[in-house]
Amino acid sequence: MPRILKQNAQKMLGKVPNEYAFKCCDGRILTDMVELGAGLGTMSDAVFAYHVNDAKNDFTSWVRHILKDEKLASDLRKATSQKQAADRVAERLEILKRALK
């Protein structure tokens, strides 16, 4: 597994400007990976299904284009459930936090 540079981990873990925040269909606003993980863990099945379905995967797109974390985006694309998506974010958070040490 390639080593993650501290500065890259800091960028991926940082808050995004308000104009790039993820706006959930239930009104919740996510501004960083920690909030994404918490949101995935607590959102309703209906909200998750709105953002992740056969036509789109909004979380994958946001992580890829805004948070610039290709690895997590790929993992989210493969997740088959809300719990699995939340688990992938939690795993990635641990890896990135270790890179900061």
Q: In the chain, what are the domain boundaries?
A: 6-99
Whole-prediction pTM value? 0.91
pLDDT tens-digit map of 9-47: 888 888 999 999 999 999 999 999 999 999 999 999 999
Q: List the alpha helices (DSSP H) in 1-101.
A: 6-13, 33-42, 45-51, 58-62, 70-78, 82-99
Give the H or E element holding residue 29: strand 29-30
How far is 85 from 63, CA to CA, in rounded Å? 12
Predicted confidence (pLDDT) at residue 2 exceeds the cutoff of 70: no
Sign of torsion over alpha carbons 38, 26, 47, 21: negative
pLDDT tens-digit map of 64-80: 999 999 999 999 999 98
Predicted confidence (pLDDT) at residue 1 exceeds the cutoff of 70: no
CB 92 within 8 A of CB 5: no
* Residues in the chain, total: 101
